[in-house]
A and B are shown apart, each in its own frame.
Chain A
Amino acid sequence: MWHTLLLYRRLMSVQMRSQMQYRTAFVLETLSTAVIVAVEFGSVALVLNRFGGIQGWTLAEVAFLYGMSETAFGFMDMIFAGFDPPVFGQHVRRGTFDQLLLRPVNITAQVMGSEFTLRRLGKIALGVAIFAFAVQANQIIWTPLKLAYLPIVMFSLFLFFGGLFIIGATITFWTVDSIEVMNILTYGSSFTIDYPMTIYPDWIRRFFTFVVPVIFLSYYPALYFLDRPELAEAPPFAPFLSPVVGIGLLLALRFWHFGIRRYQSTGT
């Protein structure tokens, strides 16, 4: 275990150094991941500012959801990049995944260490900035419980997205053709939780409650942090389920190991 962790750290630092070698490219790419968030959030901000919010949520309140989602997803996209379904699918098709299997180290750690996209720092920085703006503008009444719970929510959301990437990567053992559908789960849930869940049709809300239960990692906790009136109608435990759902990652890992076993029996 210790050996695996040390090795993961080494592999990660290799990835970082390789990316830093091309300094200009690195700076540009980092900036561009930031610009995408800036432009997307900018357009939302301009419109919400003009029309005074969306279904009773102010721009600052939306920013709370938005910042949380972008930050957690950004971190996940950086650290779990080895599992990014299209990237991982390429590794499987090109036989580079086989090379990892030929090494006497835990395979999950190796896949995680195979990519570390430092340029996502741009997206993360913007996400943090949006979140900071939200915290400041909403005048949240902080309690010790809220302060303690915030990192847990963030971390759970991060793990949850990571689990989705792992599931997507595992599916590429079967097919790469239709892997685009995974975007519904990954980018789809990240986009969905940028806004209050009440704006969506019922079936979408149900989908993100029961199938991909991301609603417990963002919307319900946000009601609690922001003391929104919708909190009264929600089940009282709903904002506090995030650690449970975050552990969904374990299920994803089960599926991942099942996928590897199948890959070993079928090849590609």
Chain B
Amino acid sequence: MSIITVRNLRKEFKVSKHHRGMMGTLRNLTTREFTLVKAVDNIDFTIARGELVGYLGPNGAGKSTTIKMLTGLLTPTGGEVVVNGRVPHQQRQLYVQRIGAVFGQRTTLWWDLPVIESLELLRHIYRVPPDRYRQNLHEFTSLLEMESFLNTPVRSLSLGQRMRADICAALLHDPDLLFLDEPTIGLDVVAKERIREFVRHINSARGVTILLTTHDMADVERLCSRVMIIDHGRLLYDGRLQTLQDRFGGKRELVVDFAEPYPEVTVPGATLTHYHDLRATYEFERQTISASELIGLLSTQYRIRDLSVREPDIEGTIRRIYQEGLLTGDA
């Protein structure tokens, strides 16, 4: 059963033109021209209950406009959004009772209050029954290791602590759906991992549907089986991350340590990029030859001491997709 249904969703903005420079400033004084910007241009997708989906795209691609429409902050220009059985922008106050949202860049907590008092206040805002509140609070604070700073004012928390407090705050009222925007931004490796662990937990153990927007591909790799990619307002890809990697992953690398020196070590289907001191590096494409075929080929001709395959990183793949517009042809 789907929790989010989006059909032909569009959002257009009128943007007034600004001319630059001295003459431009003078032109701005006299005329007012508008251009129509299609921030979101005919998107369709559905998300099933319990899914954990990554929503990716470069800055200004239409990501946050989509999220704002899904959360009821923006009214669409056209198309249809139904989330959790409601139309967000029409029934905002009722609708937001059942969702949670975390914006990594800014906190929803009260700056001068101890964390626990902010949470207490949110309990009243969302009218969480006292028992349920205690239960959730206990579970989240221990999973997120928040006990040590529950009584610290938010303004004196570290970024990682603040993020954990914000995530906890967004979940106290048992939302069906959680929007996570850059939940690991600016954190160190350990803190990132802790947050990912928790996100995975609430998704699998509590069945909370999660829509994650992030620039950190490690988040996506660890958490999302499904990703959607948006650019220039259009949905370019919706599917498994691995499929994307298979299609656009670029070259893989095989590093081989030979047991004895050979004068000539080239093999068909792969390019030798480096050969020095018994160690050779080959580049190969998964469409041309598979890793096992390549290893098979090499081991019939040479004595090999050790080898390893290096996969291209997803970060690079995604960057190439944006920069080279690899997906624009498909849509």
A and B touch in the complex (CB under 8 A): yes
- Asked if B124 contacts A7 (CB within 8 A), the reply is yes
Please tell me if A55 contacts chain B, counting CB pairs below 8 Å: no
Stretch at the interface among B28-36, B49-57, B89-97, B189-197: B89-97
Does B71 sit within 8 A of A, measured CB to CB? yes
How near does chain A come to B114, taking the closest CB pair, in angstroms? 10
Stretch in contact with the other chain, from A43-51, A63-71, A230-238, A259-267? A259-267
A102 at the interface (CB under 8 A from B): yes
Contact B71 A102 (CB under 8 A): yes
For residue A176, give the distance in angstroms from its CB to the closest CB of chain B: 15
CA distance A267 to B164 in the complex (A): 29
Number of interface residues of A (CB under 8 A): 26
A3: B residues at CB distance < 8 A: 127
Q: Are B97 and A14 in contact (CB under 8 A)?
A: no
B124 touches A6 (CB 8 A): yes
Given A264-B75, A266-B13, A267-B13: A104 in contact with B94 (beta carbons within 8 A): yes
B121 on interface, CB distance cutoff 8 Å: yes
In the complex, the answer to whether A104 meets B124 with C-beta atoms within 8 Å is: no
B283-306 to A contact mask, C-beta < 8 Å, 1/0: 000000000000000000000000
Contact partner, A264, options B73, B103, B112, B121, Cβ 8 Å: B73
**A18 and B124 contact, Cβ closer than 8 Å, known pairs A101-B72, A102-B71:** no
Q: Max chain B CB contacts within 10 Å: which of A11, A94, A95, A267?
A: A267
Answer whether residue A98 sits at the interface, using C-beta atoms and an 8 A cutoff.
yes
Q: Which of A6, A7, A14, A101 sits near B110, CB closer than 8 Å? A: A14
B310 within 8 A of A: no
- Given A18-B111, A18-B112, residue A267 in contact with residue B125 (CB < 8 A): no
- Bound-state CA distance A45–B74 (Å) is 53
Complex-state Cα separation, A10 to B113, whole angstroms: 13
CB distance from A261 to the nearest CB of B (A): 8
Q: A98-B73, A104-B97, A264-B75 are in contact. Are A21 and B125 (CB under 8 A)?
A: no
B303 CB to nearest A CB, Å: 63
Q: Which of A115-145 contact B (CB under 8 A)?
A: none
Residues 105-131 of B at the A interface (beta carbon under 8 Å): 106, 108, 110-113, 117, 121, 124-127
Bound state CA distance, A153 and B120, in angstroms?
39
| Interface residue from B68, B93, B111, B113 paired with A104 (Cβ < 8 Å) | B93
Question: For the complex, what is the distance from the CA of A2 to the CA of B14, rounded to whole Å?
Answer: 41
Interface residues as binary, B120-159 with A (CB distance below 8 Å gives 1, 0 otherwise): 0100111100000000000000000000000000000000
19 extra interface residue pairs, beta carbon distance < 8 Å, beyond A98-B68, A99-B106: A3-B127, A7-B125, A17-B112, A95-B106, A99-B103, A101-B96, A102-B71, A102-B73, A103-B126, A104-B93, A104-B94, A106-B93, A107-B93, A264-B73, A264-B89, A265-B74, A267-B13, A267-B65, A267-B68
